[in-house]
Amino acid sequence: MNGRDTLRKMRPVFVFALIGVIFMFTAPYVLQLFTIINLTTAIALAVLALSLALVWGFGGILCFGQVAFFGLGAYAYTIAAINFGGSTWAILVAIMVASAFAALLGYFVFFGRVSDVYLGVITLTVTLIFFSLIRRTSGPEYTIGKALMGGFNGITSPPLNLPWDAGSFLFPEHVFYVAMAALILCYVFCGWLVTTHFGRVCVGIRENELRAELLGYDSRLYKLGIFTISAGIAAIGGVLFCNGVGRITPDVFNLYNAALTIIWVIVGGRGTLIGPIVATFGLFYLTSALGGQSLFNNNLVLGIILIFFVLLVPKGLAPTVTDWFTRRRKPRRAAGRRRRAARRTGATEA
C-alpha cells in the first residue's frame, strides 16, 4: 500500500481527530471545572477502550484483563513519580512497565499456543491476582522506595508537571488538554497502525490464523506485537486516570471494570476505533447519571444494554451507523450513474 492509499484509508481518522482537536480547545471555555475534571476521567477510560478495540477488534485477541495494564500503568506512574520527584520520566516508566509485563505474559501465552478462550481466562485471572495482592499491602512495611502502597486505600498520585520544571504542576484544565491530546494521538496512531503491513497481517491472522501461517507469517510474533502495543496504550490511559481522579486504588483491577471495558467495545463495535471511544463517553455519563438515583441499579441497566446490543445490534454502534449510511447512498449513486448514462446516450444519438 502506497502513501496515497494510506492517506485515503485514514481520511475518517483525520476527520474524527480534527473534531477532537476542536472539542479540546473549546470545551474549557464552555464547560464548568467540575465537568472538565469528569471529562478527563472519561478520556482516560476512552484510551483504555481504544487499547482493547485495537487488540480485540483488529488482532482478534479477547483480553478480558485489559484493565491489568491500565492499573499497572497507573501504579507504576504513581510510584515512579513519588520516587523521581516529577512526572516526566514516570510516564515513560509506566508505559515501559506495562508493555514489558504484557510482552512477558504474551510470550508464554502465544508461544505456548494457548487458545483464545484460555487467554481470556488467564488475563482475567492476572487482573484479579493484582486486585487481591495490592489490597493486602496496607502495612507500613509495604513500600517501594519512598512510595507507601497503601493497600485498599491506594496511593495519592502526584500531578503532572511541566517537563522542564518539576515544581510547576498542571491545573485541571491543563490536564484536560494533555488527556485530549493523548487520546487524539493514540487514536491517530492506532488508525495508522491498522493500515500498515503489520496491521493488515494482524487482521488476516484474526480472520484465519492457519491460512496466514501457511503464507509464511509467524502469528505468534504478530499477536505478541499487537498485544504489547495495546498494553502500552492502556498504560497511558492509566496515567491519565490517576491524574484525573487524584489517586489510584486496587479497585481499578476489579471484575466490574474488567467487564465494563468489554461492554464499551461491544457497544461501540468491534473492528472500529471510534466506536468504543464514543461508547465509553456515552456509558460513562449514563452510569454517572444513574448514580444519582435509587430506582434503577447501574449493573442491571448495563446488563440490559449489553444484551440489547448482542442480540439486536451485534455489529455495534459504529458499524451499524456506517452500514445504514452506505445503504442510503447506494441508491443515490446508482440513480446518478443512470442519469449520466442516459445523458451520454442522448448526446451520442444527437
Residue with cell 460513562: 284
For the chain, the farthest-separated pair of C-alpha atoms sits apart, in whole angstroms, at 95
Domain-by-domain residue ranges, the chain?
11-315, 320-350
Q: What pLDDT shows up at residue 180?
A: 96
> Whole-prediction pTM value?
0.90
pLDDT in single tens digits along all 350 residues of the chain: 666 777 788 889 999 999 999 999 999 999 999 999 999 999 999 999 999 999 999 999 999 999 999 999 999 999 999 999 889 899 999 999 999 999 999 999 999 988 888 898 999 999 999 999 999 998 888 999 899 998 989 999 999 998 888 888 899 899 999 999 999 999 999 999 999 999 999 999 999 999 999 999 999 999 999 999 999 999 999 999 999 999 999 999 999 899 999 999 999 998 899 999 999 999 998 888 887 777 777 778 888 888 888 888 888 888 888 888 888 776 666 566 666 666 666 555 55
Are the C-beta atoms of residues 170 and 161 closer than 8 Å to each other?
yes
Q: What is the CATH number of domain 11-315?
A: 1.10.3470
Count of H helices and E strands in the chain?
14, 6
How confident is the model at residue 312, as a pLDDT? 87
pLDDT at 334: 59
User: Tell me, what's the pLDDT at 289?
Assistant: 81
Whether residue 310 contacts residue 266, with contact meaning beta carbons closer than 8 Å, is answered with: yes
pLDDT at 107: 95
What confidence score (pLDDT) does residue 342 get?
A: 64
Instruction: Report pLDDT for 301.
Output: 83
122-129 CB contacts, 8 Å cutoff, 24+ apart: 122/65, 123/63, 123/64, 123/65, 123/66, 123/68, 124/64, 124/65, 124/255, 124/258, 125/65, 126/65, 126/68, 127/64, 127/65, 127/67, 127/68, 127/71, 127/253, 127/255, 127/258, 128/65, 128/253, 128/255
User: Which 3 state secondary structure label does DSSP give 61?
Assistant: coil
Q: What is the reported pLDDT for 327?
A: 81
What whole-number distance in Å separates Cα of residue 238 and Cα of residue 248?
Answer: 9
